[in-house]
Amino acid sequence: MTAHSAPIAVAIDAREIETAAAWATAVAPHVSTVKVGLELYLRHGPEVIAAVRGANRVGVFLDLKLHDIPATVAGAARSVAGLRPSILTVHATGGADMVRAAAEAAPDTKIAAVTVLTSMDEKDLEQVGLLGPARDAVRRLAVMAVGAGARALVCSPQEVALVRAEVGPDVTLITPGVRPAGADLGDQSRVATPEEAIEAGADLLVIGRPITRAPDPGAAAASIAAAVRRAASSSQGA
Ligand SMILES: O=C(O)c1cc(=O)[nH]c(=O)n1[C@@H]1O[C@H](COP(=O)(O)O)[C@@H](O)[C@H]1O
């Protein structure tokens, strides 16, 4: 991380460790964080953390979205705490005891509770029995997770402002579902542009395919990072 790095976690969703390391090196000069998710970690294990860290000055966000009984999640969080991820995700829908178990098991890791996946729309929520509009479920889960010890929350940029109003300034708000204007949405539903996410009060934007699938991931990261820095300085000035 450098003084000029933007608050972006690039989702390094690659199959091969060499690709992951190359993407991390290309984006590291521009962003604060790289995110290792299930595809890479389940295939390569802890080795991939060292590979993306390499000589890069970036935080490594380990996105395993743990979701199980409290004792199992505590054990899993303990198992990866030694890798020193800057952030570790759990699903808030696992409940307060589960979130608390993760936070207590890995006190030096920022536990981020995922509220409602950004790929889900209202029809999906109804199918899984989460009643009410997405923002109501996000608000409920956010308050519960912070009360249970989560120091960060994952929600869509569309809910950041209302979550901030509920949990205050000290909780890190992380938003996937970020798409530059005109970019392919892919499987994301609840989206906004990087500038909108920053203006709404997000602390860290998770961005994957708009960067990693670009012809030049380093150039794409540089361009989105510049837009994010501009939005952040005009929001601070506002
Ligand atoms: O926890 C996450 O990072 C996450 C939560 C969520 O609600 N939605 C979501 O897309 N993500 C992750 O954010 C990344 C988004 O990638 P792109 O859609 O390629 O920008 C993926 O790695 C997802 O696993």
Mean pLDDT of the chain: 96
Q: What is the dihedral of CA 179, 33, 31, 215, to 10 degrees?
A: -60
- Measuring from atom 5 of ligand 1, which residue has the nearest CA? 117
Task: Give the pLDDT mean for 171-186.
Answer: 97
Q: Write down the catalytic residue from 68, 124, 136, 203.
A: 68
pLDDT at 3 over 70: no
Does residue 198 have its Cβ closer than 6 Å to ligand 1?
Answer: no
Residue 81: CB partners within 8 Å, gap ≥ 6? Answer: 88, 105, 106, 108, 109
Nearest CA to ligand 1 atom 13: 176
Scanning 82-151, the segments in alpha helix (DSSP H) are: 96-105, 122-127, 134-147
**Average pLDDT of the segment spanning 168-186:** 97
Tens of pLDDT along 39-85? 999 999 999 999 999 888 899 999 999 999 999 999 999 999 999 99
Nearest CA to ligand 1 atom 10: 176
pLDDT attached to residue 2 = 56
Question: How close is the Cα of 154 to the center of ligand 1, in Å?
Answer: 9
Active site residue 65: yes
Residue 192's SS3 state is: strand
User: What ipTM was reported for this prediction?
Assistant: 0.99
Domain ranges of the chain: 6-236
Residue 191, amino acid = V
Model pLDDT, residue 73: 98
For residue 10, give both structure tokens: 């690039």
Binding residues for substrate: 13, 35, 63-72, 118, 179, 188, 208-209
Q: Report the alpha-carbon distance of residue 178 to residue 205 in Å, rounded.
A: 7
Is the Cβ atom of 208 under 6 angstroms away from ligand 1? yes
Type of residue numbered 102? A
The pLDDT of residue 113: 99
Sequence-ordered strand ranges (E) for 118-191: 152-154, 172-175
Helix boundaries (H) for the chain: 17-27, 38-44, 47-53, 70-81, 96-105, 122-127, 134-147, 160-167, 194-200, 209-212, 217-237
pLDDT of residue 169: 97
* Whether this model's pTM surpasses 0.90: yes
Residue 114, pLDDT score: 98
Three-class SS of residue 90? strand
Cα–Cα distance for residue pair 219/26, rounded to 1 Å: 8
Question: What average pLDDT score do residues 171-200 get?
Answer: 97
Binding residues: 13, 35, 63-72, 118, 179, 188, 208-209
Whether ligand 1 lies within 6 angstroms of the CB of 211 is answered as no
86-103 pLDDT per residue, tens = 999 999 999 999 999 999
Task: Pick 6-236's CATH classification: 3.20.20.70, 3.30.1490.20, 3.30.470.10, 3.40.50.970.
Answer: 3.20.20.70
Residue of 213, 186, 159 whose CA lies nearest to 10:
213
108 catalytic residue (yes or no): no
Q: What value does the mean pLDDT take over residues 25-49?
A: 97
Residue type, 125: L
**Structure confidence by residue, pLDDT tens digits, 210-233:** 999 999 999 999 999 999 999 999
